[in-house]
């Protein structure tokens, strides 16, 4: 498959020791990580196999760094165009679907986008968290106040223990509930859907209309 607009890539290489600027122009630059050493991979046309197509075919590779290997470079190589094809085969169907101009689908997408950001109970949870934080704060103030009153001899030991135990019980209850609510996933902050779709459409324009 030819990918219009893509820089002819011959090979993708694991290159932690290779100057970064060499691969800035490839489609997958900055996204690929070597399956062998975990380093970011870099594209370089000169790493392609010798022959008539060498100058047009980039390869990607990484370099192995650190103490795991006595070898300074990781030899894992990948063929650029084939890798681009595999990645785009996963990305384009999603992009084509979301950029569909079909009115019903677009409306459903907007509803789904909205729903993701407003999971059921999220607003209620936010209010509950605010209320519980206030309750916990008040309980802490009551604990402090009880200690001050007792220190100033305004209440006896029995009175102090009563105030202290009530405040402590309220504080623990608020904190337990806060901990439970904090385990609920936060609402993701997503950008405007139309802005995302406009940007995604640029990918389809270049790769899907062929």
Write out the residues near other proteins by the rule CB under 8 A. 5-7, 12, 25-35, 41, 78-79, 82-83, 86-87, 90-91, 94-95, 97-98, 105, 108-109, 111-113, 115-116, 188, 190-191, 193, 196, 199-200, 202-203, 206-207
Contact yes or no for 77/47 (Cβ under 8 A): yes
Candidates 12, 28, 37, 171; binder of Zn ion (CB under 5 A) is 37
- Let me know how long the chain is: 210
**Pairing outcome for strands 12-13 and 42-44:** antiparallel
Q: How far is the CB of 169 from other proteins (least distance, A)?
A: 40
Q: How far is the CB of 199 from other proteins (least distance, A)?
A: 6
The tokens 């011959």 sit on which residue?
A: 10
Beta bridge partners of 42: 13, 61
Q: How far is the CB of 133 from other proteins (least distance, A)?
A: 26
Contact region for Zn ion (CB under 5 A) — 13-21, 43-51, 137-145, 178-186? Answer: 13-21
Q: How far is the CB of 155 from other proteins (least distance, A)?
A: 53
Q: How far is the CB of 127 from other proteins (least distance, A)?
A: 24
Which string of b and e fits 123-159 if b means at least 16 CB within 10 Å? eebeeeeeebeebbeebeebbeebeeebeeeebeeee
Residue 83 contacts Zn ion per CB under 5 A: no
Measuring CA to CA, which residue among 19, 3, 1 is closest to residue 203?
Answer: 3
Residues contacting Zn ion: total by CB under 5 A: 7
The listed partner (other proteins, Zn ion, none) that binds 109, CB under 5 to 8 Å by sort, is other proteins
Q: What region does 66 belong to: left with phi over 0, alpha with psi -120 to 50, or beta?
A: left
Candidates 6, 7, 36, 54; binder of Zn ion (CB under 5 A) is 36
**Pairing outcome for strands 59-61 and 77-79:** antiparallel
Q: Which residues bind Zn ion (CB under 5 A)?
A: 14, 34, 36-37, 62, 74, 76
């Amino acid at each position: 498959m030819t990918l219009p607009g893509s820089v002819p890539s011959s090979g993708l290489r694991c290159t932690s020791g290779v100057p970064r600027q060499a691969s800035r122009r490839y489609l997958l630059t900055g996204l690929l990580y070597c399956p062998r050493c975990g380093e970011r991979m870099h594209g370089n046309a000169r790493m392609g196999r010798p022959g008539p197509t060498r100058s047009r075919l980039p390869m990607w590779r990484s370099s192995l760094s650190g103490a795991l290997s006595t070898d300074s470079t990781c030899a894992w190589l990948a063929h650029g165009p084939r890798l681009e094809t595999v990645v785009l085969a996963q990305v384009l169907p999603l992009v084509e679907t979301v950029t569909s101009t079909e009115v019903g689908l677009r409306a459903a997408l907007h509803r789904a986008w909205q729903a993701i950001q407003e999971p059921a109970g999220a607003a209620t949870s936010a209010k509950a968290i605010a209320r519980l934080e206030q309750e916990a704060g008040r309980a802490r103030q009551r604990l402090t106040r009880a200690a001050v009153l007792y220190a100033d001899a305004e209440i006896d030991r029995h009175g102090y223990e009563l105030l202290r135990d009530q405040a402590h019980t309220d504080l623990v209850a608020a904190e337990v509930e806060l901990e439970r609510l904090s385990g609920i996933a936060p609402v993701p902050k997503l950008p405007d859907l139309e802005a995302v779709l406009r940007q995604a459409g640029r990918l389809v324009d270049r790769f899907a209309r062929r």
